[in-house]
Amino acid sequence: MPPRGTIIEAKDFAQRHGAWIAARLGRLPKAAPFLPGTLVPLRGVPHKIVHRAGERGTVWTETRDSGEKILCVAGGIEHTERRVLDFLKREARRDLQKASDAYAEQLGVKVKRLSIRDQSSRWGSCTSAGSLSFSWRLILAPPFVLDYLAAHEVAHLIEMNHSARFWKVCGKICGSVERAKKWLDTCGNDLHRYGVED
């Protein structure tokens, strides 16, 4: 609804355009909760969640003889969703910390703090104090996308804007800027369906 719209106008629009709204909603990606059988793209590679009730540990990856990648979850089945989410957040933090530190070293700057969140409107952010924040969902994307976002936010430690100078700094340290931006435009929204139930 537009900011100055009213509830009456919104209801009227919904009644007149119900079929169009239903068609648009029907095209949205289906929710993919972290439950056994769900395919989750870890670093862009589909992994099937498999519950391993009798085993100890939390979450780990394996490759079956067939080549199928699986995400094994130990313990009670009621803990599957939380354990998968915790695992993905840890992996995201590790990969983003490593990439951010490497890009910061190239630029001669310092990352003061790195946090992992579940932002719905941004993939990352940077404060003038040197704190970087990223969406854990980047671990679901191919590595070149995560690397680009790390480079993008580290570049903000030099240029706190999106000027031509900023893009020059970003391009200097990351060779996949355009490729990653295109991937995010095309596939990025799909990452928000994981870990969500209908």
Q: How many CA atoms lie within 13 A of 43 on its CB side?
A: 15
Say what the pTM is: 0.85
Give CA–CA dist 151/154, Å, rounded: 5
Give residue-wise pLDDT tens across range 110-153: 999 999 999 878 999 999 999 999 999 999 999 999 999 999 99
- Per-residue pLDDT at 29: 66
Give residue-wise pLDDT tens across range 33-82: 999 999 999 999 999 999 998 888 899 999 999 999 999 999 999 999 99
Give residue-wise pLDDT tens across range 158-176: 999 999 999 999 999 999 9
Enumerate the CATH 3.30.2010.10 domain ranges in the chain, comma separated.
Answer: 89-193
CATH 3.30.2010.10 fits 89-193, yes or no: yes
Pairing of strands 39-42, 45-52: antiparallel
